[in-house]
């Protein structure tokens, strides 16, 4: 599959909750992490989602917020993937930050250069990629 989403995570649907209006699917990644996607119940029905089904989660790099220090706070965002920065590609206005995940895989975030400077982001630093469940699109074979 070819898409403009930099982040494409493969895994298996581990949990599925379908309500009258919305549905929530949790994808277990090959490295053991989980990603939760929220969509309409109609979309879940159209995709014929089922537990055990292989799927790909797509997340645009611009939808990812990097957290270098939680400062004792907890966030409402369901998806929080902790890793280590392994790449900083600085551009004129924004930077691409690569976060290596335990067990393999990478998350890419697009953040402003001001944010890179303010957070002191650099290779080797632990950080967490955070994104809302509504920012995740699921794709299934079909």
Give domain limits for the chain: 7-60+132-139, 61-131
CA distance 108 to 110: 7
Query: What share of the chain in percent tops pLDDT 70?
Result: 100
Express each pLDDT in 22-53 by its tens digit.
999 999 998 889 999 999 999 999 999 999 99
Which of 29-33, 55-59, 106-110, 127-131 shows the lowest per-residue confidence on average (mean pLDDT)?
29-33
The reported pTM is 0.93
The most distant pair of C-alpha atoms in the chain lies apart, rounded to whole Å, by 46
Angle at Cα 119 formed by Cα 116 and Cα 123, nearest 5°? 65
- Mention the CATH class of domain 7-60+132-139: mainly beta
CA distance 86 to 32: 20
**CATH 3.40.50.300 is right for the domain spanning 61-131:** no
Distances (CA, A) of 22 to 18, 37, 38, 74, 96: 6, 10, 7, 24, 32
């Amino acid at each position: 599959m070819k898409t403009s989403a930099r982040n494409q995570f493969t895994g298996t649907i581990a949990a599925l909750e379908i309500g009258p209006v919305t549905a929530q699917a949790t994808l277990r990644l090959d490295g053991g992490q989980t990603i939760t996607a929220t969509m309409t119940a109609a979309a879940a029905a159209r995709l014929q989602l089922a537990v055990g089904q292989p799927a790909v989660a797509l997340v645009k790099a611009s939808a990812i917020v990097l957290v270098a220090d939680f400062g004792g706070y907890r966030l409402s965002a369901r998806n929080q993937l902790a890793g280590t920065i392994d790449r900083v590609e600085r551009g004129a206005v924004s930077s691409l930050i690569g976060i290596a995940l335990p067990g393999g895989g990478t998350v890419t975030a697009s953040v402003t250069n001001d944010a890179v400077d303010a957070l002191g982001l650099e290779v080797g630093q632990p950080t967490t990629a955070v994104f809302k469940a509504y920012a995740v699109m699921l794709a299934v074979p079909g």
